[in-house]
Structures are given as structure tokens and as C-alpha cells.
Chains A and B, each alone.
Chain A
């Protein structure tokens, strides 16, 4: 219901007598009106600090935060018009679940019948109707988390902040609620920023994902962009399950084409790909390819031969770990592969699926190398 803009926001913690920690480093982020954005990253990457700065519980060391064009980073939390679901739930112990949820609305002096209706609607949405008349101390962690989520969602605030909104839920319920939550947010055009370390959740729920690491914004894009064209090595290896295979590689120029050699642990070439592109001779790069895009048991031209280490059929897909010239590689196929440890398998790396990254800076150089 409002756009949110972070301009060069930094956060530095200065604990007394200890070294200062820069938790967030010059992050700029523009969230459109009604957009759902995920802050994705591992623990300690600064994503919760970002959320708390938007909410107003942490001071912004540098930079600006605007909601709907208005600078808010110097306002007290009460005047920022944001709603937040806390990671630790933070329910009011003396109030029943129903009162906890409706509490935030009381201030807006809505008709109590209307509040009642909204509470029961949101409770139905999050499957907590049967615990509405119980106290927060006697319900499970998952129920507390949904109560806390309901308390934030019911306000339909211009900006909603959700800190790990579904971390405590069991997988089936999480999948159902994720879909309902998304419908609710879209229906009410709620601008939402949520923090998660679960990439499935980020991909399923968010319009755009901001990947963070060590306080820096690594990439901000749609789930498809993040998956197909990761901006650097960190994003490439962080997103995707199982993670992307990454090899050290050397480029040798041959006229209009190049030969890319994947290198084994001792620097010996393990396999070789020819690509129609230009590049500096001898450049050191990292080569990445997603496990499910490797063609295993390919007929015809194979790029290499892999020696199988393990082969697991998971019921709907096979995870095969094999070794090529000292590099271990993980491949995923959707059919079972008849191979046992020690067997040789022909393997093909489709050029369209190969990513190249600068070996030093980690920045992406190319996504897909054109067809042979």
C-alpha cells in the first residue's frame, strides 16, 4: 500500500570495549507498492538488522529510509505505519490469542463487530480458530508464531515486516499457509518485506528476492533471475538445492572460440569444453553448472567420463555423485540411472547451462555460452 525505499543504509554496532561491527553495508533497495520482497541470507548476514531499522528499533547509522516518499528513519516506531511479526513471537502473556490479534486494531477505533470479523477471518486463514480463547503460554511454538503473524497481517499496514514468519511450522502446513499468505498479501496489495533463510519460502512467496551476505546486498531480482543469472559466486552457490557445481577453470583462446578446461585439485585439466566466444588467453575463471542441468549417460558426444561415487534414487529423482579427474560433481536426473559405485558414466555439460565467474572478484562473467 506504499512503496519503501532504502538508500545507502548502513548499520554499525559499537559495543563498548569491543571492536565495532558493520552489520549492514550501504544497502539500497526499492520495494514497489504492493510488492513482496524476501531478504534471504544465512544467519548473521544483516537481514534482521535491516528489518529492525525499517521498523525503528535500531538506529540507522547512515543512509535514508522512505515510505511512500516520506523519510521515516528518524521517526519513532509508532509513527512509521509499519506492522511487524517478530521472530520471537512477542505475544502479550496476559491476553488471550484473540485479544492479542485484535489488540493492534483497537487503537484505530474500528467498530468492535468489524474487528471481531477480521480476527476470525485471519484466524481461519492461519488455522488458529480453535485456540483463539487460549493464552499464549499454553499453546505450541507453531501456534504462537501464527498468532504473531496474524497480529501483523490483520493491520494491513502500508508496509508489513515479517521476521522468519513460518520457521516453526511443520512442512505440510507451511506449504498451505504460504499459498494463503501470498493470496492475502496480493488481495490487500500489502507491501511486504520478509526475512527468511529458507530459499524455497523466498522463491515461493516473493516477487523479488534480495540476497544478502556479510551485510552486503549481493543481488536483488526475481526468483527466476536469481536462479538463472546469479550475479556472483555467492548467490550461485547459495541458491539451489543441491548447490551448483563449481570448478576452477582456465581459458585458452583458439581463434574465434575458446577452450575452457576444468581443473582438478592439483591444477591438471579434468575436462574440456569448447565455446564460440572470445576471451583473454590464460584467464582464470570459475565454472558453474547446476546439478539437474548436467546430462548424465548422454548418447553421442560426451564432454567427460565420470566415475560414480554414490547413486541415490529418491523416489522422484536421482542424486548421483561422481568424480571427473579429481573434481567431485553432483548431478540430478529425474529417471533412475543404472550405475553403481566405480562405474564409468558419459557426462555432458550443455554450454547453455554453464556459468562463468571471475576467479578473483567472484562476479559473473557469462550465463550460458551459446550453442555449439
Chain B
């Protein structure tokens, strides 16, 4: 019995449109920019009408940037690949470590349990720059500077606490008796964890994984300091577009479009999955 007057419906539509405009217009504008040349972008007044060009994308894909000052090599595709590799493996590692840990923190009370959990959370409080100086010294000694393994390790500072704390909450929401019911019909601890606890917490694990992926993807400072060009992700690689002959707005826009796409697709996919999981998951018996 939804009794909404026409007026309310119009106001609601307007407000939603306003919000959408606010959030989506920059993305839309960047999408347009990525199909324009630098001259078209910089003309005054800006115009919605132009002849689309693919030269920005071509430059990125081939890795050759033609500027007024001559040709320039850019490693954008390589950076994109690095981003994918670093974020994916960091999140996978953090899930493998964080989900069992979250389960342990949620289900068992042990000595110093809360202190350990809080210490892990406190990794998120520390300003990255403060950690980076000693870390870069250690890394040099351990020969981890400019390696994927080293970066993935450092990325755990971002991913692990996030996954641990979000997933822990989900595990705590599941009545332990559901697991008990499974265990009493003859299943061991490990099988209960795999078959009951993880599936029931799946929406939480997906959400935490997605968030961790986005945080890892957007990270700038760790890779800037601890890695050289060949291992750097797009966030750092984008600096290359600020060239001696000016800022390559067209290429930046195209690079943004390309680098946003993976996270956007993942978010869209996981969002559908999250809604499905949550509607099933009124977990409390």
C-alpha cells in the first residue's frame, strides 16, 4: 500500500537525478575527454560536440606518446598489469590469512586475542609515510625492494586489517549453533568451517575482498617508494603523463578510463552478488 503522491514522486525523481549528476558527471566528462585531443580539451568554452579520436587510446596501448617535443615511451599497459597483479594477489593472500583469523577471533576466546586483533587494526591508523622510512631500510637489507613479493607483503598492511575486521563481524553474526548442528551430525571442525561458516559469511567476505581490492588498487605511496618503474602500478605510472612539454590531458583521461574499468566491473559484479547474498542471509536462526 504505497501511498505516494505525484508531487512526492517528482521531488524524489529530481533529487535522485541531482545526486546521479553530481557523482556521474565527472566520470562522463572524463569519458568524453578521453576521445578528444589536447587542443579540443583545452578550448574555451568547452563543447560537448567534437570529432572523436582514438589517438589517446592508441598511444596508451602501443606505449608511444607523440608530443610536440617528440616521441615518449610510456609503460602504461605494464603499469596496468602491475596494478592487476599486485591488487589481486594481495587480496587473495589477505583472504587466505584473514578469513581463518577472523573466524578464530569471532569464535574462540584466547589469551591476548583482543590485543592482537586491535594491533592488526592499528596498522590502519599509522600514516603510511611514517612506516615507509624504516620499511624501506628493512626492505633493502632483505632484498625485497622492487620485488612483487615485497609489495604484496606491504599491501597486507592495507588489506589484512580490513578483511579481518569486516569478516569477523559476519562470523559473529552467525549463530554458533548452526555450526554445532553440523558438527554433531558427524562432521569435523575443518569441514564445518568450509561448508557452513564460509558460505554463510560469503556476502561479508565478498564485500571485504572488494573493499580491500579497491584500497589496494588506489594505493600510491607504497609503490612510489618501494618499487621502480617496472613494478609500479597505474597510480604511480600516471605521473609519466606530466611531461616536459605539458600535461597530456587526453591520455590521462584515457588512462583513467582504462584503470577504473577493472574495479568498476568488479564492483558491478560483486554488487549483484552482495544483494543476493544478503537477501538469503538472515542468518540468525
Give chain A's interface residues, CB within 8 Å of chain B. 16, 55-57, 76-80, 82-84, 86, 88-94, 103-104, 107, 135-137, 144, 148, 151, 155
Q: Are B285 and A89 in contact (CB under 8 A)?
A: yes
When distances are taken between beta carbons in the complex, the residues of chain B under 8 Å from A78 are: 183-188
**9 examples of A-B residue contacts, CB within 8 angstroms:** A55-B180, A76-B189, A77-B180, A84-B180, A84-B181, A84-B184, A86-B177, A90-B180, A107-B187
Pick the residue among A55, A92, A135, A144 that contacts B196 (CB under 8 A): A92
Known: A57-B180, A77-B180, A94-B199. A155 touches B280 (CB 8 A): no
Best-buried of A84, A92, A144 by chain B (most CB within 10 Å): A92
- Whether the Cβ atoms of B181 and A86 lie closer than 8 Å is yes
Name the interface residues of B170-203: CB closer than 8 Å to any CB of A. 175-178, 180-189, 196, 199-200
Q: Is B69 an interface residue (CB 8 A)?
A: no
Pick the contact of A94 from B181, B189, B280 — CB < 8 Å? B280
Are the CB atoms of B183 and A77 closer together than 8 Å? yes
Given contacts A90-B175, A92-B181, A93-B280, 16 further A-B contacts (CB under 8 A): A77-B183, A78-B184, A78-B185, A78-B187, A82-B184, A83-B185, A86-B285, A88-B175, A90-B178, A90-B180, A91-B178, A92-B196, A94-B280, A104-B186, A107-B185, A151-B181
Known interface pairs A91-B285, A92-B178, A93-B200; A137-B183 also in contact (CB < 8 Å): no
At the interface, yes or no: B128 with Cβ under 8 Å from chain A? no
B185 touches A155 (CB 8 A): yes
Collect the chain A residues with CB atoms within 8 Å of residue B177's CB.
Answer: 86, 88, 90
**Contact A93 to B185, CB < 8 A, known contacts A77-B180, A88-B175, A88-B177:** no
Residues of chain A within 8 A (CB-CB) of B281 are 93
Q: Which B residues are in CB contact (< 8 Å) with A155?
A: 185
Q: How far is the CA of A82 from the CA of B181 in the complex (A)?
A: 11
Closest to A16 in B: B109
For the complex, is B283 an interface residue (Cβ under 8 Å from A)? yes
Q: Which A residues are in CB contact (< 8 Å) with B186?
A: 78-79, 104, 107
Which residue of the partner chain, among B178, B183, B282, contacts A76 with CB atoms under 8 Å? B183
B191, closest chain A residue (CB): A78
Smallest CB–CB gap between A211 and chain B, Å? Answer: 26
Residue of B nearest to A80 (CB): B184
Residues of B contacting A84 in the complex (Cβ-Cβ under 8 angstroms)? 180-181, 184
- Residue of chain A at shortest CB distance from B192: A78
> Hey, which chain A residues are within 8 Å of B181, CB to CB?
84, 86, 90-92, 148, 151
The 4 A-B pairs at the shortest CB distance, nearest first, are namely A104-B185, A90-B177, A89-B285, A88-B285
Chain B min CB distance to A139 (Å): 12
Most chain-A Cβ atoms within 10 A of its Cβ — which of B109, B184, B188, B199?
Answer: B184
